[in-house]
């Protein structure tokens, strides 16, 4: 079978994957099998396929055994690259459409991330793996837009020398990205009748100094400005407090969004914010900072050296700028283990506003083909 990236992309955008990825995963597996690959679905729902100089291998060969050896007995001196993106999309589904005489594809997932998916599948099937001890793995996750259990399962088990993570980057090579944490600040005072407010401790009144303290946190306790990612952000997003209009509220909860930069870790951030805000809590009030419980680790910030071979090879092949990515991504799980870049056709936003995750999501077909060529050429250069 000759793989047609644009035909696959159209079929993928027509396939709903905002509630369940089953149909989309079936399409991916059938496409890979028709091309001669031997994909497997692991226990976390990831789709894995592997190529070596001898041709396609079972996707099981991409993952280490418990003893640290790689299935199939691969040489420890091998070079192993992984191409990764996801098949899920955000709701609601937006139907497939074309404009500009078919040059532009619209619809949910057009650029996030079925455009990158089509490009990576094309590169996986056409790149040259010409030396013994070299492997190329396609690793496609099922839930990047929600809880990232697929990538968390893969992290640390793929034993790779580099990762290309498909996301809409406008064909730029993104070697860094902020992470994302979520959490809450609970302020606890004491309830009282609103007619005698002095007899209680109003938790809502305590919010004002705490919000002010959040504004000064990074200046006093944060990791500082990163050379490419800039400063981290700490944004209050939801406030809840009070039970009745005639009662002094005992508790108020602030929800926040944190976009960190290296080298901050979630634990360092939580402990630092707890200590910083506690100094601003009014006398008689209790304050507690907690990160939102998650099934998987938080997406941490990462930065790959722009001098890494994978970054330079992909930049040379694509002609794109080397820059940070504008959103948190599963790439952070992989970047802990090997040089990682984010790359693909389409954009998060354009001059008219949001593109990815919006009703107007689109990608240019020529950019899908250009992304496939660039990844293939970069893989050829490395392998």
- Compute the mean pLDDT over every residue in the chain, rounded to the nearest whole number: 93
Cβ contact 333:297 at 8 Å: yes
Distance CA 175, CA 305 (A): 7
Q: Are residues 283 and 323 in the same domain?
A: no
Q: Are residues 171 and 185 in the same domain?
A: no
**Mean pLDDT over residues 94-123, rounded?**
97
Burial of 219 (0-12, 13-18, 19+ CB in 10 A): exposed
Q: Are residues 118 and 202 in the same domain?
A: no
Phi then psi for 59, rounded to 5 degrees? Answer: -60, -20
Distances (CA, A) of 222 to 86, 179, 262, 272: 32, 14, 10, 8
Q: Are residues 34 and 135 in the same domain?
A: yes
Residue 346 has pLDDT above 60, yes or no: yes
Residue 68 — pLDDT band, cuts 50, 70, 90? very low
Distance CA 161, CA 157 (A): 12
For residue 188, the domain's CATH number is: 3.30.70.360
Q: Are residues 160 and 308 in the same domain?
A: yes
Q: Are residues 34 and 120 in the same domain?
A: yes
Q: Are residues 45 and 95 in the same domain?
A: yes
Q: What is the pLDDT of residue 76?
A: 52
Percent of the chain residues topping a pLDDT of 70: 96
Q: What is the pLDDT of residue 268?
A: 95
**Mean pLDDT over residues 172-194, rounded?**
96
Residue 65 has pLDDT above 90, yes or no: no
Kindly report the pTM of this predicted structure.
0.90
The domain containing residue 200 runs over which residues?
Answer: 181-291
pLDDT per position as a tens digit, 109-132: 999 999 999 999 999 999 988 778
Q: Are residues 124 and 33 in the same domain?
A: yes
Cβ contact 88:142 at 8 Å: yes
Residue 347 has pLDDT above 90, yes or no: yes
pLDDT per position as a tens digit, 278-337: 999 998 899 999 999 999 999 999 999 999 999 999 999 999 999 999 999 999 999 999
Residue 77 — pLDDT band, cuts 50, 70, 90? low
Domain boundary among 242, 274, 291: 291
Q: Are residues 67 and 174 in the same domain?
A: yes
DSSP string, 160-217: -SEEEEE---TT-EEEEE--BEEEEEEEE-B-EETTSGGGSB-TTTTHHHHHHHHHHH
Q: Are residues 35 and 72 in the same domain?
A: yes
Q: Are residues 71 and 186 in the same domain?
A: no
Q: Which pair of tokens denotes residue 179? A: 């992470």
Q: What is the pLDDT of residue 156?
A: 83
For residue 332, the domain's CATH number is: 3.40.630.10
Q: What's the structural domain count of the chain?
A: 2
Q: Which pair of tokens denotes residue 231? A: 């400063």
Domain boundary among 291, 312, 332: 291
Residue 71 — pLDDT band, cuts 50, 70, 90? very low
Q: What is the pLDDT of residue 74?
A: 40
Q: What is the pLDDT of residue 54?
A: 83
Q: Are residues 70 and 144 in the same domain?
A: yes
Residue 176 has pLDDT above 70, yes or no: yes
Angle between helix 309-318 and 365-382 (nearest 10)? 140
pLDDT per position as a tens digit, 17-36: 999 999 999 999 999 999 99
Residue 101 has pLDDT above 70, yes or no: yes
Distances (CA, A) of 206 to 117, 196, 203, 272, 276: 48, 17, 5, 19, 15
With a CB cutoff of 8 Å and minimum separation 6, the contacts of 50 are 56, 57, 58, 59, 61, 62, 135, 136, 137, 138
Distance CA 6, CA 122 (A): 10
Distance CA 17, CA 9 (A): 13
């Amino acid at each position: 079978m000759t793989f047609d990236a644009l035909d696959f992309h159209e079929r993928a955008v027509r396939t709903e994957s905002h509630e369940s990825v089953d149909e989309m995963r079936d399409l991916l597996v059938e496409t890979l099998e028709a091309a001669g690959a031997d994909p497997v679905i692991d226990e976390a729902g990831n789709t894995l396929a592997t190529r070596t100089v001898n041709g396609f291998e079972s996707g099981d060969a991409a993952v280490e055994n418990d003893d640290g050896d790689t299935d199939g007995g691969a040489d420890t001196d091998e070079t192993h690259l992984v191409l990764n993106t996801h098949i899920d999309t955000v709701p609601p589904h937006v139907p497939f459409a074309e404009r500009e005489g078919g040059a532009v594809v619209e619809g949910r997932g057009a650029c996030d991330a079925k455009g990158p998916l089509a490009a990576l599948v094309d590169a996986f099937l056409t790149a040259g793996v010409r030396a013994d001890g070299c492997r190329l793995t396609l690793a496609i996750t099922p839930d990047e837009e929600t809880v990232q259990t697929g990538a968390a399962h893969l992290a640390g088990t793929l034993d790779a020398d580099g990762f290309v993570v498909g996301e809409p980057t406008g064909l730029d090579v993104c070697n860094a990205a902020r992470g994302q944490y979520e959490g809450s600040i609970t302020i606890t005072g004491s309830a009282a009748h609103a007619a005698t407010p002095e007899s209680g401790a109003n938790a809502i009144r305590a919010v004002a100094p705490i919000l002010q303290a959040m504004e000064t946190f990074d200046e006093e306790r944060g990791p500082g400005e990163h050379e490419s990612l800039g400063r981290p952000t700490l944004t209050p997003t939801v406030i809840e407090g009070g039970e009745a209009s005639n009662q002094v509220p005992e508790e108020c909860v602030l929800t926040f969004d944190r976009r960190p930069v290296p080298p901050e870790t979630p634990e360092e951030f939580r402990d630092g914010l707890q200590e910083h805000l506690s100094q601003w809590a009014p006398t008689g009030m209790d304050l507690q900072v907690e990160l939102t419980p998650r099934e998987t680790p938080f997406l941490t910030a990462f930065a790959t050296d722009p001098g890494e071979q994978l970054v330079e090879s992909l930049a040379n092949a694509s002609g794109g700028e080397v820059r940070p990515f504008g959103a948190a991504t599963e790439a952070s799980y992989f970047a802990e283990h090997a040089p990682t870049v984010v790359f693909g056709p389409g954009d998060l936003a354009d001059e008219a506003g949001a593109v990815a995750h919006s009703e107007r999501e689109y990608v240019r077909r020529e950019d899908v083909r250009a992304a496939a060529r660039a990844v293939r050429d970069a893989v050829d250069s490395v392998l």
